[in-house]
Amino acid sequence: MSGQPMPCNAQEIGSLFLFEKLTPEQLGRLCDEGRVEQFEPGPVYTEGDPSTCFYVMIEGTVVLSRRVAGDDVEVTRTSQRGVYAGSMQAYLGDRVRQVYNNSMRVTEPTRFFVLPADTFAQIMQEWFPMAVHLLEGLFFGSKSTQQAIGQRERLLALGSLSAGLTHELNNPAAAAVRATSTLRERVGKMRHKLAIITQGSYSPEVIANLIEIQERTAERVAKAPTLSPLEAADREDALSDWLDDQGIQEGWRIAPTFVQAGLDVDWLDQVAAAVDEEILPSAIGWLNYTVETELLMDEINDSTTRISHLVDAAKQYSQLDRAPFQNADVHELLDSTLLMLSGKIGPQIKVVKEYDRTLPRVPAYPAELNQVWTNLIDNAVSAINSAGGEGTLTVRTAPDHDRLLVEFRDTGVGIPAENRGRIFDPFFTTKPVGEGTGLGLDISWRIVTNKHHGTIQVQSEPGDTRFQVLLPLTSEEAS
- The CATH code of the domain that includes 118 is 2.60.120.10
pTM of the model: 0.45
pLDDT (average), residues 395-413: 93
Side chain identity at residue 350, one-letter code: K
pLDDT at 107: 92
Starting at the edge strand found earlier in the chain, the sheet holding 71-78 runs 42-45, 103-106, 62-68, 71-78
479 falls in which pLDDT band (50, 70, 90)?
Answer: very low
Gyration radius (Cα) of the chain, Å: 36
433 falls in which pLDDT band (50, 70, 90)?
Answer: very low
Cβ–Cβ under 8 Å, residues 390 and 384: yes
* Same domain (yes/no): 357, 299: no
Residue 132 inside a domain? The answer is no
* Same domain (yes/no): 345, 255: no
Q: What is the sign of the dihedral through the CA atoms of 27, 28, 33 and 38?
A: positive
* Same domain (yes/no): 301, 346: no
Report CA-CA distances (Å) from 148 to 110, 371, 435: 42, 17, 16
Beta-bridged to residue 354, according to DSSP, are 396
Residues 115-164 have pLDDT tens digits of: 898 888 888 877 766 666 666 666 556 666 566 555 655 555 556 566 55
Q: What are phi and psi of 195, to 5 degrees?
A: -65, -40
Rounded distance between C-alpha atoms, residue 221 and residue 209, angstroms: 19
Domain that holds residue 306: 164-310
Coil, helix or strand at residue 174? helix
* Same domain (yes/no): 274, 177: yes
Q: Could you tell me whether strands 391-400 and 349-354 are parallel, antiparallel, or unpaired per DSSP bridges?
A: parallel
Cβ–Cβ under 8 Å, residues 257 and 295: yes
Residue 431 inside a domain? The answer is yes
Residues 320-346 have pLDDT tens digits of: 445 577 888 999 889 888 887 887 788
* Same domain (yes/no): 328, 223: no
Report the 10 Å Cβ neighbour count for 72: 16
Side chain identity at residue 194, one-letter code: L
Residues 170-200 have pLDDT tens digits of: 667 777 777 787 778 777 777 776 676 666 6
* Same domain (yes/no): 329, 467: yes
- Which of 288, 310, 332 is a domain's end point? 310
Residues 289-324 have pLDDT tens digits of: 888 888 888 778 777 777 776 676 666 665 544 557
Rounded distance between C-alpha atoms, residue 118 and residue 116, angstroms: 6
* Same domain (yes/no): 330, 248: no
The proportion of the chain whose per-residue pLDDT surpasses 70, expressed as a percent, equals 79
What is the total count of domains within the chain?
3
Closest C-alpha to 157, from 405, 444, 390: 444
Residues 346-388 have pLDDT tens digits of: 889 999 999 999 999 999 888 888 888 988 998 899 889 888 8
Residue 328 inside a domain? The answer is yes
Q: What is the sign of the dihedral through the CA atoms of 296, 299, 304 and 305?
A: positive
Strand extents, DSSP E, 102-222: 103-106, 110-116
* Same domain (yes/no): 285, 329: no
Residue 410 inside a domain? The answer is yes
Rounded distance between C-alpha atoms, residue 314 and residue 328, angstroms: 16
How far out from the chain centre does Cα 395 lie? 12
* Same domain (yes/no): 357, 464: yes
Rounded distance between C-alpha atoms, residue 432 and residue 435, angstroms: 6
- The CATH code of the domain that includes 369 is 3.30.565.10
434 falls in which pLDDT band (50, 70, 90)?
Answer: very low
Residues 70-91 have pLDDT tens digits of: 667 788 888 989 888 888 777 6
* Same domain (yes/no): 113, 29: yes
* Same domain (yes/no): 391, 346: yes
- Which of 310, 345, 367 is a domain's end point? 310
Coil, helix or strand at residue 100? coil
